Amino acid sequence: MITIKNPYEGLPEHGCFCCSSKNPIGLKLNFWYDELNQTVESRWFPELNYQGYQGVLHGGIQSTLMDEVASWSIYILEGTAGVTHSMEIFYSKPMLIEKGKVIVRGRIVSREKRLVTVHVELFDGEGNLCTTGNIKYFVFPPEIAKAKYGYPGRDAFLGGGE
């Protein structure tokens, strides 16, 4: 697994709810790239303030985690940026907070012109698959992603190992 750098961290205005370490109420996610399996993942420890039902990670937080991993999958696996087009989420079992570290993993499953589908899986701390989703992203050509949306290029995210 290769540790993915967050090139946006150096920007003073970077306050992303999911990936900024500067957002006091944010999730502060980090990401890894599995080159062999062509996946991007994040690992996160949920706290009780993210629950819906008692002890269960709120479904909206689960979908937020999945959307963010899908976005980083686009950065790394597609080499560009994009925006969420649609999300189809399947909650198959409760994600119990007490089980500890959550793993969220994404991989590209299809490309149709400028729509890319990322399949995302959410595992609880015991490795049980709890939630899956297919998240479609409208992707920009890399030159537009760089010029209009500040995408720094794939190389800015890679370079460290784990």
The predicted-structure confidence for 99-130, as pLDDT tens digits, reads as follows 999 999 999 999 999 999 999 999 999 999 99
| Residue 37 resides in a domain | yes
Instruction: Give CA–CA dist 29/17, Å, rounded.
Output: 9
pTM metric for this prediction: 0.93
| Residue 161 resides in a domain | no
CATH of the domain at 60: 3.10.129.10
H helix intervals, 8-161: 59-73, 142-149
| Residue 39 resides in a domain | yes
What total number of domains does the chain contain?
A: 1
The predicted-structure confidence for 47-58, as pLDDT tens digits, reads as follows 999 999 999 999
Parent domain of 34: 2-152
Closest CA to 87 of 59, 113, 55, 49: 59
